[in-house]
Amino acid sequence: MEKMDLIIASSSIAEAGVGCWDLDSGAEQLRYKSCASTPHGLTCVGQRFIASSQLREPSATSGSVLYWSWIKPQAAVKSFPSEPIKPFVSNSVGTYIVGGGQSGDIYLWEVETGRLIKKWHAHYRAVTCLVFSSDDSLLISGSEDGCVRVWSLITVCDDYESQRASHLYEYSLTEHTLCVTDIVIGQGGYNAIIISASEDRTCKVWSLSHGRLLRNIVFPSVIDAIVLDPAEHVFYAGSRDGNIYIAALSAESSSSSSYGKHILSSLYDHSKAVTCLAYSIEGNLLLSGSEDGMVRIWDPRTLNIVRMFKHGKGPVNNILVVRRPNFLTLGAFSNSHGSSRRHGSLLPPPLEKYVNMDKDANKMGVIRLPTACNILPNVPFNSSHILDEHVKLVEQQGSSAANEMEVERLKLENRKAMHMVQQWKKMYGNLHEFCVNEFLKGDDKGNID
Amino acid sequence: MARSKAASSKKQQKQRGVDFKKIKRKLGRKLKPSKNATNTEIKSKAIVLPEQSVASEKAGLAVSKKGLTLKELLQQTSHHNVKVRKDALLGIKDLFQRYPAELKLHRYVVIEKLRERISDDDKVVRETLYQLLKSVIFPACKEDNQGQFVSLMMAYIFNAMTHLAFDVRLMAFKFFDLVVQYYPPSFSLYAEKILQNYEDILRKNQCYLQDKGKLKSTFAGLVRCLSLLPCNKRNIETCEKTFSGQGILHAFEPDVPTESAGFSPIIKKLKDLVPVLVNCFQEFIPLVHSMLLLDTQSFDCMHYILQSIDHAVGFFIYGIRKGKPSLHGGPDGAIWDQTISSVLLKRFFNMFPLNATHNLSEKFDDRFFILNILIAEIFLQYSEWIYPPAVLLEKFLEFIEDALLGKICSDTRSSKAVWGKHVLSLLPFIPKLIRQVASDWKFRLLQAFTMTFEDCSPESSLKLACLSAMEEMLVPTDEMVCPDASYPLFEHQIIWIRALPVLLILLDDKHPSSTQVVLHLLLRLGQRACMNSSFAREYDNIQYSLSKFYSSCQEGGEICYGPFVRLPRDSQELSICGLYYFSYLDQLSLKSIASCCLRPELEPFVLFRIIEVLHSSFNDGHIQIADHMSFFVTLLSRFKVFPENIYPAVENDVKISNRGTFKSLTNAVCSCLSQMGDDSLVFQILEKVILDQLLSQPPLDNACAMLRMLVSQDSKPSRLSEQSISALSKYLSGYLIDVVHCIPEDDDDTTESARIQTCCYYFLPCFFLFDRSHKLVKLVLMVMGSLITESTAPLSQNYIQYAMDRSNRINAMVSTLLLMHKDAKLQKIISLFKVETVHILQIIHSLQSSENANMNIEERHKIQCACDRLKTITGVMQ
């Protein structure tokens, strides 16, 4: 089978742009120009195009978000949100984009129209990372104030609900003492685990269902990036001392590790600080980006480097592993391939700056992007608790309807029974008459005899 | 014998018969027995039979002091004689104290027998049994499966609770109290029945005033039971937070008896119980008014009753909370029965405040104060759910204000202590109360609260309670408010915030746990301080008073370290984290932090944390680049490396030398510098500062660190200006010679490689400089040449600190050249400057010839050696 994964990496220095390599062959693809992305600020929207929020001066009054289509190196669409956006992610199908602002606000845009659906004050200080849960129903945000918050997008968008409650978030996890640097969430719907890394040199493992701290792991250095092993046995933590530590989750951990409790071993390649990590499930490879501008690819089983890409001089601060869009698989970007041109260049409008209040209420439906990938996007899962709520609702409604039906049925039965009673009465009357007649006849006969 | 007795009695009868006539008899003679008399004498010998019954064999068995076995004792416990029963119980106690193992073996048998005595008619027996259970049996059976043990007893306890005799019933409650003490879950198992029994005894009993002593223990038991109920206070939330870091990640929840299942019957019973308790309390009131003194007995009873009501109300509110999560809902009176509410409102709260009618001594004043505080606490719990009528609220608010201000209590020490202890329980309610009441009261309460906070001593628990109440008001967990000047609490918040650093310094390192709380609060404040708000400005201003917490510079340049350096590591970490949240850090604060960093006793871990946090603070633009840079330069130039002599072998031993720490410090600083971005700009700032520092001749280690810092920002070709190259060349020549001189040469081959390695560590930055600027090499070689002839007088302008002696100097110089020559890259560079090298050789030669007479043999030999070694180099050069 043909390997489909592409690596996309960006840097905080604009000249390096966005690098793009084939994971299997190592061949460099098109390089997208002039991108100084923020940490956690690069995303691939529904495999259709690349988007990134740009580093701005802290004093800047507006942010900047750029879109690149797959086939053109120049940024195609530029938007300027009302403040510098730091982390920037889209959900897995690419319907929504979420950005976290310098002031602690979170912005939720609809991709296809560029409409700013919701903006809410989420943190006291700048948002540093944003992650969607595996079913896209929850959003987890980390902030400079050391706080990790879990948001249910349904609650957030529900105006009625959000006005009633004293707070919007589901959980506010406030154990970190310094800026949160990275967050990952595991599989398993509502029973997943969240891992957050912080500048206080710790990673904390939380339970999503209880909002409770499960484990606290202290590292020898600040952890800037974490990524989960697909089986969730361990997680990899890229630190500022250049090591990638392997920390135990469900794996057995001996207490006598040289690095500290729960830390099993480390990957080291004399590099500078590790700034970002990614995991390719298809190739079972670990990818790390470093301060020295290199992207290293590791085999997590042997702990050896498999391949290295030179991204540029500046520090790499984002790596993504994405599935290759199908129009890119057929050779190069041939102009003759009409559909590729159409697919590639069709970009949605820029993101709006403000929430537009006087939009038509009836235009609230979700607008999905035309699919640009070679596999049909999976139907989004609803998380179990929403399903439960639905089921309960249906049950409640259903039971009242059923009651009515039951009443109808009973009425019908009653009518039938009444009918039957009538018939029996009639029959009894007939019989009685018959008997009396017979008796009288007999008497008559006797009299005659 | 029997016979003779009979005979004598016969004679007596005879005597009477003859009217006291004395008959003389001859002494020593006896009547001979008649001949036909049967010999009734029985002779016997002891017959020894082997013991047949095992039960009576006591040799191997545990026996009590009186020699009775356990079985016998147990049998005796049901003896009809009171004394025997009591003795048997005492015997059992004695036996178990001697043989604890017996108890383990027979505990079920024992308890099955003993429980019958719970409803014993005799008071002494019951009391003895109580003592036996309390002192011996329960403590010993603590670890075992107590459920069965308790269930064996409970039937009898319940039986005794409904006994006809009042004393037995009271005692039964005492027994139950004992059970609960040792096995708390037993209350929730039998809660309904127990509460019913309590209600019965309290309702029917009409003799409070006589039996206060007995009732007191009953009330104490009730308080203990009710305190087991989950209540509305904060400690529950905190204890849930503790987690075990060891366990498996996805562990199952431990099986705890689910609480909420059995709640509704308890609630129902409690609803019946509360009015009864209120009745009881009311019956004490006339007593209080009539009697001159509030005696200890009735005070204790009243105290216990109030505590019970408090727990009950707390439980109601907990139940309401649990049923309806605070997310969705206003007050819901589902559980608040109308009757309870009205009982509390109309009958109970109206009794407030309890006041002595007569002017009593302060001790009794205190007692009334304690009771009043408790009533106020119940009221506050109650008002959290149902808004009380305004008149009542006013009355209570006034009391709370007075209590906080300490107006009610007299000024003696003992009553101050009582005040502190009991005001404590009001403080957790203050934040909520302040949110609820009208603005004028808000102001008055805040005023009183602030007074309390300021007046209490820093280490008292009152201060801690104030701090946690402040935390709730300053950084509320469930709201997203950015406090600002318009905020009603703002004025007081400012006072509190300003008090925190002062408090930190007052606490010093004597109360680490309090310090931890304050630091935590400060950190939370910093995290919540929104940018550009006046709140944030206030937080930024803390740093001025906080700098004393780190260190302060006294007149005369002496550094006075603050409590920071003496605190445990986790407190240190917390305070360091707080630094990150200042929106700017000024020079003064950085200076005080830097002098803490330079303290040799400081743990390296903390040092690196400080650098890390300050660097991220710099990255976020909170520290000026010049300040940040000078912080680094200060660290590297002032750090005291010990010991001063460089021994490669001992470097890694932390106790002997901190050179290893200094090396990693240098690395950390260099990597921070390299992350700063614009290298050339950073280099420009560094160049001048570092050259100034170098020319003031710091110790070699610091010089090396600074050179490394310079090199880390330099590029090829060098960015150094002409001027600094010439200055540097002068310094470097001295530096290189000193390094070789200071690392002692050894004849041993194994240490030789270590020596070269150490030298290389110091040479490496120079090598980089040489590689980047060939001009520098040339200048250094020229300076070296001139150094040979220069006199060793201290006035001369060179930068040699150690190698003063001329022969040593020449020797070290040649070794330096040799070392440079060994490096492959440097070899190429030096070979470009053959002229200068040869020039040095010539100078040495001329020195040899001209001053031969002035030198002794050793000197001459040394110079000759050096000369020979140098020749080999020049010979190799092309």
Given a contact cutoff of 8 angstroms between Cβ atoms, the answer to whether A290 and A316 are in contact is yes
Residues of chain A contacting B668 with CB distance shorter than 8 Å? none
User: How many H-runs (helices) and E-runs (strands) does chain A carry?
Assistant: 5, 27
**Domain's final residue, options A362, A392, A423:** A362
pLDDT band at A368 (very low <50, low <70, confident <90, very high): low
H helix intervals, B324-460: 338-342, 362-383, 390-405, 413-423, 430-436, 439-455
- In this structure, the answer to whether residues A312 and A408 fall within a common structural domain is no
Residues spanned by the domain of A412 = 383-448
The number of beta carbons lying within 10 Å of the beta carbon of residue A64 is 18
A55 within domain boundaries = yes
- Which of residues 234 through 253 in chain B touch A, CB cutoff 8 A? 241, 243, 245, 248-250
The contacts of residue B183 (CB under 8 Å, 6+ apart) are B146, B147, B149, B150
CB contact under 8 A, A164 and B328: yes
pLDDT for the residue B744: 67
CA distance A236 to A249: 10
Report the predicted TM-score, pTM, of the whole model to 2 decimal places: 0.76
- In this structure, the answer to whether residues A336 and A387 fall within a common structural domain is no
- In this structure, the answer to whether residues A265 and A152 fall within a common structural domain is yes
The contacts of residue A190 (CB under 8 Å, 6+ apart) are A208, A209, A383, A384, A385
CB contact under 8 A, B482 and A215: no
- Write the pLDDT tens digit of every residue in B596-650: 888 888 888 899 999 989 998 888 888 888 888 889 998 888 888 877 666 655 5
A367 within domain boundaries = no
Given a contact cutoff of 8 angstroms between Cβ atoms, the answer to whether B768 and B711 are in contact is yes
Q: In the block, which residue shows the tokens 């260049």?
A: A345
- Write the pLDDT tens digit of every residue in A247-286: 888 776 666 667 878 888 888 887 788 999 999 888 888 9
CB contact under 8 A, A272 and B250: no
A72 within domain boundaries = yes
CB contact under 8 A, A167 and B250: no
- In this structure, the answer to whether residues A180 and A139 fall within a common structural domain is yes
CA distance B549 to B97: 56
- In this structure, the answer to whether residues A33 and A92 fall within a common structural domain is yes
Residue B238, pLDDT above cutoff 60:
no
Residues of chain B contacting A103 with CB distance shorter than 8 Å? 531
**Mean pLDDT, rounded, for B236-249:** 46
- Amino acid identity for residue B513 in this structure: S
pLDDT for the residue B327: 35
Determine contact: A200 vs chain B, CB below 8 A.
yes
Share of chain B above pLDDT 70, in %: 79
Rounded to a whole number, what is the distance in Å from the CA of A175 to chain B's nearest CA?
A: 10
CB contact under 8 A, B573 and A200: yes
Determine contact: B327 vs chain A, CB below 8 A.
yes
User: B44, B109, B117: which is closest to B71 by C-alpha?
Assistant: B109
Across B180-311, where does the E strand assignment appear? none
Determine contact: A178 vs chain B, CB below 8 A.
yes
pLDDT for the residue A98: 92
- Amino acid identity for residue B311 in this structure: H
The number of beta carbons lying within 10 Å of the beta carbon of residue B255 is 6
User: B449, B320, B433, B456: which is closest to B377 by C-alpha?
Assistant: B433
Rounded to a whole number, what is the distance in Å from the CA of B686 to chain A's nearest CA?
A: 22
CB contact under 8 A, B249 and A215: yes
- Write the pLDDT tens digit of every residue in B338-368: 667 777 777 777 777 776 655 555 566 777 7
A369 within domain boundaries = no
Residue A197, pLDDT above cutoff 50:
yes
The contacts of residue B623 (CB under 8 Å, 6+ apart) are B584, B585, B590, B614, B617, B631
For residue B551, list its beta bridge partners: B561
Residues of chain B contacting A151 with CB distance shorter than 8 Å? none
A258 within domain boundaries = yes
**Domain's final residue, options A306, A328, A362:** A362
- In this structure, the answer to whether residues A275 and A340 fall within a common structural domain is yes
- Which of residues 34 through 63 in chain A touch B, CB cutoff 8 A? 58
A293 within domain boundaries = yes
User: B307, B306, B336: which is closest to B319 by C-alpha?
Assistant: B336
pLDDT band at B244 (very low <50, low <70, confident <90, very high): very low
| CA distances from residue A53 to A67, A349, B37 in whole angstroms, order as listed | 9, 16, 138
A234 within domain boundaries = yes
CA distance A273 to A285: 20
pLDDT for the residue B257: 46
CA distance B752 to B761: 14
Determine contact: A353 vs chain B, CB below 8 A.
no
- Among chain B residues, CA nearest to A204: B245
- Among chain A residues, CA nearest to B675: A291
**Mean pLDDT, rounded, for B439-468:** 83
pLDDT band at B328 (very low <50, low <70, confident <90, very high): very low
When the pLDDT of each residue in chain A is averaged and rounded to a whole number, the result is 81
Lowest mean pLDDT among A131-145, A214-228, A434-448, B742-756: B742-756
- Amino acid identity for residue B236 in this structure: I
Residue A382, pLDDT above cutoff 60:
no
More confident residue, A62 or B556: A62
**Pairing relation of β-strands A171-173 and A148-152?**
antiparallel
**Mean pLDDT, rounded, for B82-110:** 84
Residues of chain A contacting B249 with CB distance shorter than 8 Å? 193, 205, 214-215, 249-250
- In this structure, the answer to whether residues A171 and A22 fall within a common structural domain is yes
A174, A215, A250: residue with CB nearest B245: A215
CB contact under 8 A, B577 and A205: no
Instruction: Give, to the nearest 10 degrees, the angle between helix B659-674 and helix B604-619.
Output: 10
Given a contact cutoff of 8 angstroms between Cβ atoms, the answer to whether B98 and B90 are in contact is no
- In this structure, the answer to whether residues A301 and A396 fall within a common structural domain is no
- Write the pLDDT tens digit of every residue in B542-559: 888 888 888 887 777 778
Structural tokens at position B750: 């194994």
- In this structure, the answer to whether residues A261 and A401 fall within a common structural domain is no
Residue A344, pLDDT above cutoff 80:
no
Rounded to a whole number, what is the distance in Å from the CA of A416 to chain B's nearest CA?
A: 46
Sheet strands side by side (includes A285-290): A274-280, A285-290, A294-299, A304-310
CB contact under 8 A, B249 and A165: no
Lowest mean pLDDT among B38-42, B227-231, B711-715: B227-231
pLDDT for the residue A185: 92
Q: Which of A13, A164, A166, A178 to mutate to test the interface with B (most CBs of B within 10 A)?
A: A178
- Amino acid identity for residue B258 in this structure: T
Rounded to a whole number, what is the distance in Å from the CA of B438 to chain A's nearest CA?
A: 21
Residues of chain A contacting B580 with CB distance shorter than 8 Å? 178-179, 199
- Among chain A residues, CA nearest to B616: A199
Query: Total domain count for chain A?
Result: 2
- In this structure, the answer to whether residues A122 and A155 fall within a common structural domain is yes
Q: A157 burial class (0-12, 13-18, 19+ CB within 10 angstroms)?
A: middle
- In this structure, the answer to whether residues A295 and A409 fall within a common structural domain is no
pLDDT band at B41 (very low <50, low <70, confident <90, very high): confident
Determine contact: B722 vs chain A, CB below 8 A.
no
Residues of chain A contacting B527 with CB distance shorter than 8 Å? 124-125, 145-147
CA distance B304 to B221: 9
A144, A146, A249: residue with CB nearest B249: A249
CA distance B154 to B147: 10
CATH of the domain at A356: 2.130.10.10
| CA distances from residue A212 to A207, A435, B49, B240, B785 in whole angstroms, order as listed | 5, 86, 77, 9, 72
CB contact under 8 A, A166 and B478: yes
Determine contact: A23 vs chain B, CB below 8 A.
no
Q: In the block, which residue shows the tokens 């595996």?
A: A134
- In this structure, the answer to whether residues A429 and A285 fall within a common structural domain is no
pLDDT for the residue A6: 84
Q: Which of B475, B581, B615, B673 to mutate to test the interface with A (most CBs of A within 10 A)?
A: B581
A124, A164, A250: residue with CB nearest B530: A124
CB contact under 8 A, A177 and B328: no
Q: Which of B240, B244, B249, B620 to mutate to test the interface with A (most CBs of A within 10 A)?
A: B249
A405 within domain boundaries = yes
